[in-house]
């Protein structure tokens, strides 16, 4: 069993690796195509801007490699920015093409007096439809840090949180999953999500 955390200077990789270690799942940080293509599961973390992330992934030749792994059926979990780039297009600073695994657009959250942007803090989850990662998540609280949301069709939204609107908190299509919040910073609830993902990878 081998989980690869994609290495593209994404910022929160150490926390993700630490969280996986806590649940007894050894994982490796790598950008090597051979390791990515033979992994049982992939995690795409992310902190920062959509255009910069996609530029770095292209620069390292990782976009085509990740697409090939997903086409083979390898489960992929995108975290925070890593979830946002699963969409077709991002509108942060400029229009940027994403992976296109899940139809939709990554748009800015509209700030209000009571709902400032970035959205930072703990928020409760509402499960809209079940997925292999959603068991027991209803009304649980997790940690968010983001200024953009994934505007995707309802068919792909598993979990939402309320931040002046229903923000997609977890999305998925086929073997591609996304968490807008940070499981690695969300205590036992977040560790449970990572555990469920690793169990999914074991069934691959």
pLDDT tens column, 94-153 = 999 999 999 999 999 988 888 899 989 999 999 999 999 999 999 999 999 999 999 999
Of the candidates 152, 176, 151, 149, the one whose C-alpha atom is nearest the C-alpha of residue 77 is: 176
Is residue 93 annotated as a catalytic residue, yes or no?
no
Band (54; pLDDT cuts 50, 70, 90): very high
Q: What is the domain range of residue 34?
A: 3-202
Choice among 80, 106, 119, 201 that is catalytic: 80
> Cβ(160)–Cβ(128) under 8 Å?
yes
pLDDT of amino acid 114: 84
Tally of domains in the chain: 1
Is residue 182 annotated as a catalytic residue, yes or no?
yes
pTM of the complete model? 0.96
Band (203; pLDDT cuts 50, 70, 90): confident
Choice among 28, 182, 201, 202 that is catalytic: 182
The bridge status of strand 41-44 relative to strand 76-79 is parallel
Q: pLDDT digits over 121-131, tens only?
A: 999 999 999 99
pLDDT of amino acid 109: 94
Mean per-residue pLDDT, 46-75: 96
pLDDT of amino acid 135: 94
CATH number at residue 168: 3.40.50.880
Choice among 146, 172, 184, 201 that is catalytic: 184
């Amino acid at each position: 069993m081998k989980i690869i955390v994609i290495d593209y200077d994404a910022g929160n990789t150490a926390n993700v690796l630490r969280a996986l270690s806590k649940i007894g799942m050894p994982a490796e940080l790598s950008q090597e195509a051979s390791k990515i293509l033979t992994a049982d599961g992939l995690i795409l973390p992310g902190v920062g801007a959509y255009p910069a992330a996609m530029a770095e992934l292209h620069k390292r030749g990782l976009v085509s490699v990740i697409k090939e792994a997903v086409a083979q059926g390898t489960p992929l979990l995108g975290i925070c920015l890593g979830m946002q780039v699963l969409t077709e297009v991002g509108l942060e600073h400029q229009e940027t093409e994403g992976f296109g695994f899940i139809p939709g657009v990554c748009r800015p959250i509209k700030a209000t007096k009571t709902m400032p942007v970035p959205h930072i803090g703990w928020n409760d989850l509402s499960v809209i439809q079940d997925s292999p990662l959603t068991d027991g998540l209803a009304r649980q609280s997790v940690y968010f840090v983001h200024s953009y949301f994934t505007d995707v069709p309802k068919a792909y939204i598993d979990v939402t949180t309320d931040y002046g609107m229903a923000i997609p908190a977890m999305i998925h299509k086929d073997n591609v999953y996304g968490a807008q919040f940070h499981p690695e910073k969300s205590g036992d609830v977040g560790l449970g999500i990572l555990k469920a993902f690793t169990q999914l990878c074991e069934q691959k």
